[in-house]
Structure formats: C-alpha cells, structure tokens
Amino acid sequence: MDKLIITAAMVGAEITRQHNPNLPVTPEEIARAAYDCCQAGASVVHLHVRDDHGTPTQAGERFRETIEKIKAKCNIIIQVSTGGAVGMTAEERLQPVYLKPEMATLSTGSVNFGDDVFLNPPSYLERFAMAIKENGVKPEIEVFDVGMISNALQLVKKGLLEEPLHYDFVMGVPGGIPGTLKNLLHLTESIPPGSTWTVAGMGRFELPLGTAAIIMGGHVRVGFEDNIYYEKGVLAQSNAQLVERIVRVADIHSRPVASPDEARKILRLGS
Ligand code: KMH
Ligand code: ZN
C-alpha cells in the first residue's frame, strides 16, 4: 500500500460560523488552518475561499492571496475547488484554475445537493477538463454517484483527461450516493486498476469511511467542508483536530502517513 494521503477540506461553501465558530474564513485564517493541518499530517488542502462578508467566492484574486499565504507557511499541495457553490456559473467556478495550482477538482456529473442541484452538464465537463489540461493542473475527479466514474472515463476517451486518474468518492451528500461500506466497495471496484482514490464521508460517515479507506489502501479527506463534529453533538475545535484523529487511526492500522512530497509522487504531480 502507498503511504496515506490526508486531504483537509477546511472551508467548503456551505458551512458558516453559525454552524461552527471555528471555521476559518479570511485568507490569514485559512493559511493558519492549512499550516496546522499540514503539521498534523495532511499533505493536501482542498481549497475554497470566502469574500470579506464570509460568502463563498471563486474570485481569482482571493484565491491568489490565500494561496500565497499558505505557500509562505508550508509545502502542502493546494487543490482548488472548481465546484464553488451551487448556482455559480462555469466561468465563475473556473477562475482559480487559471492560477495554475498543483491540483483542481473536477465533478463529472450533476447531483441533487440537499434542496439544490449541483449542476455539471456534459458541456461543463468538457470545458472544465480542457481548462484543467491546458493549465497543466492535476485533476481530482469528484464522484458524488457511481455514474460519474463512467463520465470521467468518457473524458479519457475524448483525450481530455489522462489516466491514471485520482478520484474522490464524496459519500453521504443528501441526493448523492449513501455512505455505506457496500457503496464504497462498489465505487472502488468501478475504477480502472492503477487509479488512486480518496474518500470524503459527510458528517457521521467521515470516520467509518476514512477508517475503511485506510484499511483498503485508499486515501482520506476530512475537514469542516464535510463534517463539523468531532463526535455526536460535539463540534470539532479545528480542522487539524480531525486530521490528528485520522493520523491516529492510520497509526493503529500501521499505515504510514505521506508527507506533501511523498503525496506528490503517489499522485504523479508534475509528471
Ligand atoms: N460546494 C459544492 C456544491 C468541489 O469543491 O469541487 C461543490 C464542491 C465540489 O464543493
Ligand atoms: Zn469542495
């Protein structure tokens, strides 16, 4: 098994300080949280940013400022979100890709998202994949349901994506694939051999699915974007606290944790 890559999804677009007062919002707070997560064992940050009012934004300038502050503190891999928030236009969502970060997400299908729809029609998939390719960015395929794997493989056939792909199984979103072990197994068996994968379990699914991934040879995403609780009824004090817990679980299962440079090799960044 490869060493374990832990991704910290620290901000997201849906959570507010009303949900968890420890949510990092400003570029300074996000950079500090990224540093703390890196120190705790994360090798990737999945990055969303907020404007001065705490509202989700995909503004290139805000990403640039936040990325600079993170880079000044640590060597963690920065993966920008192209999902943004529901209702944003494709061009709005694509802005951080033009900064040529090491990684960016690519959601390969539409999904009901609570009471909303996270819209990713075929035209978006091609446009996003092309922008990601043209800017030399490594995509992480966001899979909210199993059909999104075949959509990604269609993009490979069209020459818009290159294998081996790295997938993120986002499980337990209301409207997406439920966060069961049976479904995780189905997803892992549906990707081509040689692919890499991580799992992002929503809410109470974060810890059991993360534990399963550690045992199965996958990788793990944790953080406030997916889960604001440390345990039932107890809010997490920080993103780093959630990273620390996954490091302890990995340790119990004798799975060493990857440094950012080791993660770069596993994910074949820059190759
Ligand atoms: N905020 C969600 C609607 C991504 O970052 O690529 C989409 C999302 C996926 O978070
Ligand atoms: Zn996201």
HEC secondary structure over 156-194: HHCCCCCCCCEEEEEECCECECCCCHHHHHHHHHCCCCC
Tokens of 1: 């098994």
What is the pLDDT, as a whole number, of residue 133? 98
Q: Using most ligand atoms within 8 A of CB, pick from 45, 105, 138, 141 the residue to mutate for ligand 1.
A: 105
Q: Which of 68, 56, 64, 73 is closest to 97 using CA atoms?
A: 64
Closest C-alpha to ligand 1, atom 7: 83
Token digits for 80? 């920008």
Nearest CA residue ID for atom 4, ligand 1? 83
Question: Of all protein residues, whose CA lies closest to atom 1 belonging to ligand 1?
Answer: 85
Atom of ligand 1 nearest to the CA of 86: 3
Query: Rounded to the nearest whole angstrom, what is the distance from the C-alpha of residue 91 to the centroid of ligand 1?
Result: 15
Measuring from each residue's beta carbon to the nearest atom of ligand 1, which residues come in under 6 Å?
A: 13, 81-83, 85-86, 105, 107, 113, 118, 142
Q: What is the best residue among 117, 118, 120, 128 to mutate for testing ligand 1's pocket, by most ligand atoms within 8 Å of CB?
A: 118
Answer yes or no: are the C-beta atoms of 74 and 30 closer than 8 Å: no
Query: What pLDDT score was predicted for residue 159?
Result: 98
- The number of the ligand nearest the C-alpha atom of 8 reads 2
**CA–CA distance, 85 with 14 (Å, rounded to integer):** 7
Strand-pair category, 6-9 with 219-222: parallel
Give the pLDDT of residue 132.
98
Q: Residue 235 phi/psi, 5° resolution? A: -70, 145
Task: Tell me the ligand closest to 224's alpha carbon.
Answer: 2
Residue 164 dihedral angles phi and psi, to the nearest 5°? -75, 140
CATH number of 6-266: 3.20.20.70
What pLDDT is stored for residue 63 in this prediction? 99
* Local confidence pLDDT in tens for the 271 residues of the chain: 999 999 999 999 999 999 999 999 999 999 999 999 999 999 999 999 999 999 999 999 999 999 999 999 999 999 999 999 999 999 999 999 999 999 999 999 999 999 999 999 999 999 999 999 999 999 999 999 999 999 999 999 999 999 999 999 999 999 999 999 999 999 999 999 999 999 999 999 999 999 999 999 999 999 999 999 999 999 999 999 999 999 999 999 999 999 999 999 999 998 7
* Alpha carbon of 221 to ligand 2 centroid (Å): 11
Helix 27-40 to helix 239-252 angle (10° resolution) is 10
Identify residues whose C-beta is under 5 A from ligand 2, the ion.
81, 83
Ranges of each domain in the chain: 6-266
